[in-house]
Amino acid sequence: KNEVEQSPQNLTAQEGEFITINCSYSVGISALHWLQQHPGGGIVSLFMLSSGKKKHGRLIATINIQEKHSSLHITASHPRDSAVYICAVRGGSEKLVFGKGTKLTVNP
């Protein structure tokens, strides 16, 4: 069974700080997703990647297939970045397996 582990579970930062959220998984995958769940509950897909790095605005996602590890970075964090960030992987079954999420709080 593919397990997806995220760290840390909770993260508190000051506005402007550089944020890193980590995701590790246990089996070979074809793609990895990062999603954001707003405090109101809505879920938005941020990235889908299978190798290398992707960037969108202040968000950067990287993946190391050999080490079975991905990171989500937020530069110049802002209180509006406060959310739960969820990692999900697509393995051999093609279905997505989700991590439990990392709750980020950015204080002004």
Q: Is the CB of residue 91 less than 8 Å from the CB of residue 97?
A: yes
| Residues 42-81 contacting other proteins, CB under 8 A | 42-45, 48
Q: Which stretch binds other proteins (CB under 8 A): 13-21, 26-34, 60-68, 71-79?
A: 26-34
To other proteins, the closest distance from the beta carbon of 6 in angstroms equals 9
For residues 33 and 87, what is the distance between their CA atoms, to the nearest angstrom? 6
For tokens 């089996």, name the residue. Answer: 27
- 32 scored as a contact of other proteins (CB under 8 A): no
Q: What number of chain residues touch other proteins (CB under 8 A)? A: 21
For tokens 């405090």, name the residue. Answer: 39
Among 77, 81, 85, 99, which residue interacts with other proteins (rule: CB under 8 A)?
Answer: 99
Q: Is the CB of residue 105 less than 8 Å from the CB of residue 12?
A: yes
